[in-house]
A = this chain, B = another copy of it.
């Protein structure tokens, strides 16, 4: 009986699954990744393509499954190994553990996740002291002894685990270093006598630490290595670690690759190396990689020895061994076509002969990914659909922004925060709006640095090149505004401490930066550097538009934009929005003029003053709305009525209070008193959204009036967009019903007064952002023509995470594996997703034709889009710069759905 954790890791198994599968010349069998691991499966495919690989065999993950099923290591493995080795002996004309031409084996692990419970590769299995003379006779004494030392060290580390807990360096490495140092500086190869001593020392340390000598019998070596690898993999410790990594079922199995050892040092010009079939930094076609002459592939990554470039330059392989280079090029093309992607290949030149020892899809930079994907299609290597899957949607957003020049080496990192809005920017530090303004007027670039931002800082956020805050999470005020503005932003740089008296900030590492000094921040990584680092534009317009065009052909989900101004709206259209999914009207009150009129309203003494303030606000709103509607005509525009607690509009600092008192001819005490009357302990859960609308109906009335008047103005010379009015923060169906009456009444009044009134179509819906609204969505849908899912607030309330404060513990939760992603970045499918699922089901029960959209930061992200597709939502809506990524993700998921 299969029980417990591993059961879930193994999918249904084919009946005639082999324990062992050979590869090499003439063998065309392949295996799934589940059985052979990714490395093993790729090697089998490469070999099946007829590409030369050192012959060998894969011990499949079936061994692990049997082990798990029976609780004991399966006895049939021994027999399987013997017959596999026998076949290999025939293939190579060599014999294992005897004879003149020894068959030595190398072992590599093949698994999706690498774990610390077993070392890495083991070399020269099948060698022992007694066989050294045979090997020496074939390859020379030095080669033989080196090979033996390598067996001892790799077997001792990987299988016998001789390294002690707390020991900082592998003991075999330590011994070899001691001998090398003794031999004098610059020595890399020990002479024979010293090498013999090293071998003795290696044997001694194995005996000393394990209590037994190194197993000499070749079959004993081979069987031990296989048994230990599988049993370690199936230990409780591995399971604990695996559970943390949340690996998916069927992906956790281990397979082993055993193959004839190939050597990059048998003839002059031999060597080993790695290459990528295309440049992975910028994406240009052509091989790119290095060869270590006289070395093995595993030595290349060590990086201590000088290497030769594969392509380019007079010393490169291309120049010196053009026939080999051509061969590599043709293998590269073959593998690219076969795997449908740029490849990373490991190769060895043994006695002038080329062997591919590893193949996998090449990792690449965001910039390279786009170029490679489009080039592969242009070259006819892959289809468009495949290309769409080769680009990470998050990287697409980065294509629109400059990045720090990868060549910039003189970087001094000051602090690492959360990457809140992508792109790089340099500028002079400014701590206040006044300072930002002054420096901008002098034509300087500015980075606005602040403990946290409030609506009063929006002006500075707009003016500055980028913003850096000490507090706040990925959906804090600064982050949201910066993303909307498309400006780089780093938030939650908690270790940074601002001293406003000395006008400087300091870091724990002892850096001090005065106001006015230059810094550079990278909003994609959250890193902040001293000085001005040079930046490069990444965008490759041709590829970019080509790929997005393909995405549009494939995707089914509509992508709208969150915009707050006409300027945003134009940007959104340019970036491909099919409408406005969310206009947060409060953002219209965040500039100087808007904020002043809102404050005047909140502090009005008499009904007359109140009315005057409302009139002024109405004018502002009407012209803002008219601009936005005109920019989006004839697409639909969803406008959310005022949402945030009124308190947020009032001044916080004493200086602001004083300034406001002056401008409104009120006393400071008066302003303080009124502000304090509006204070709430937990403003996120307070008097906001529809509650404001019902308790202060004049505000919603003014907004609705302004919106419909604006629509009438636009209708004069253009097609007025269809309006969607979103009522925020609904928890009770009756809240929506009352707000709806107010909207309908006001709209009727405004529209009745104009002949064009009949041209304005509108609908009223609810923002589903309290858990209760989701739980009672059937009742809410009675009054809503559409739902707009607000995942930010819903996440806050479902999880009890304030987005402003969660930066305190989310990073630690990520470290400990309690969270796998920041829930404000990636939608919490299990919790929040469940609420949204209920909301969609209940809402459609009442109103089958209910339109539903997903708004907010997570809407542009893969999990959010997956949910939108799963729930058959009508659209997602995100900030303009995230539209391309959202479209690509929607296309990818549509393809995924089609394939599954």
Q: Which residues of A contact B (CB under 8 A)?
A: 680-687, 689, 691, 694-695, 729, 731-732, 734-735, 738, 769-772, 775-776, 779, 793, 796-802, 804-806, 808-809, 812-813, 816-819, 828, 830-832, 834-835
Q: Could you say which residues of chain B place their CB within 8 Å of the CB of A835?
A: 771, 775
CB distance from A738 to the nearest CB of B (A): 7
Asked if A772 and B793 sit within 8 Å, CB to CB, the answer is: no
- Copies of this polypeptide in the complex: 2
Asked if A802 and B685 sit within 8 Å, CB to CB, the answer is: yes
A and B contact pairs by CB, cutoff 8 A, 5 listed: A686-B808, A694-B812, A771-B797, A772-B832, A775-B835
CB distance from A740 to the nearest CB of B (A): 13
Asked if B805 and A685 sit within 8 Å, CB to CB, the answer is: yes
Q: Could you say which residues of chain B place their CB within 8 Å of the CB of A818?
A: 694, 732, 734-735, 738
User: What CA separation (Å) do A835 and B770 show in the bound complex?
Assistant: 13
Asked if B798 and A686 sit within 8 Å, CB to CB, the answer is: no
Per CB-CB distance, the 10 closest pairs between chain A and chain B, nearest first, are A685-B802, A772-B831, A682-B802, A681-B804, A680-B805, A770-B800, A686-B805, A771-B771, A771-B798, A797-B797
Q: Could you say which residues of chain B place their CB within 8 Å of the CB of A731?
A: 798-801, 831
User: What CA separation (Å) do A571 and B734 show in the bound complex?
Assistant: 42
Q: Could you say which residues of chain B place their CB within 8 Å of the CB of A734?
A: 817-818
Q: Could you say which residues of chain B place their CB within 8 Å of the CB of A808?
A: 680, 686-687
Q: Could you say which residues of chain B place their CB within 8 Å of the CB of A830?
A: 772, 775-776, 779
Asked if A831 and B775 sit within 8 Å, CB to CB, the answer is: yes
Asked if A800 and B797 sit within 8 Å, CB to CB, the answer is: yes
Asked if A800 and B772 sit within 8 Å, CB to CB, the answer is: yes
Q: Could you say which residues of chain B place their CB within 8 Å of the CB of A683?
A: 681-682, 802, 805
User: What CA separation (Å) do A813 and B793 show in the bound complex?
Assistant: 22
User: What CA separation (Å) do A812 and B734 show in the bound complex?
Assistant: 13
Q: Could you say which residues of chain B place their CB within 8 Å of the CB of A680?
A: 802, 804-805, 808
CB distance from A310 to the nearest CB of B (A): 46
CB closest chain-B residue, reference A731 = B799
Complex partner residue of A799 from B770, B798, B828, CB under 8 angstroms: B770
CB closest chain-B residue, reference A817 = B734
Known A682-B682, A738-B818; contact A776-B809, beta-carbon cutoff 8 A:
no
Q: Could you say which residues of chain B place their CB within 8 Å of the CB of A804?
A: 680-682
User: What CA separation (Å) do A804 and B732 show in the bound complex?
Assistant: 20
Q: Which of A694, A793, A799, A832 has the most CB of B within 10 A?
A: A799
CB closest chain-B residue, reference A680 = B805
Asked if B732 and A801 sit within 8 Å, CB to CB, the answer is: no
Q: Could you say which residues of chain B place their CB within 8 Å of the CB of A817?
A: 734
User: What CA separation (Å) do A832 and B687 show in the bound complex?
Assistant: 20
Q: Could you say which residues of chain B place their CB within 8 Å of the CB of A685?
A: 682, 684-685, 796-797, 800-802, 805
CB distance from A814 to the nearest CB of B (A): 12
Q: Could you say which residues of chain B place their CB within 8 Å of the CB of A684?
A: 681-682, 685, 800, 802
Q: Could you say which residues of chain B place their CB within 8 Å of the CB of A812?
A: 694-695
User: What CA separation (Å) do A419 and B831 show in the bound complex?
Assistant: 36
Asked if A775 and B834 sit within 8 Å, CB to CB, the answer is: yes
Q: Could you say which residues of chain B place their CB within 8 Å of the CB of A687?
A: 805, 808-809
CB distance from A819 to the nearest CB of B (A): 7
User: What CA separation (Å) do A682 and B802 show in the bound complex?
Assistant: 6
Complex partner residue of A805 from B682, B735, B793, B806, CB under 8 angstroms: B682
Q: Could you say which residues of chain B place their CB within 8 Å of the CB of A819?
A: 732
Asked if A809 and B682 sit within 8 Å, CB to CB, the answer is: no
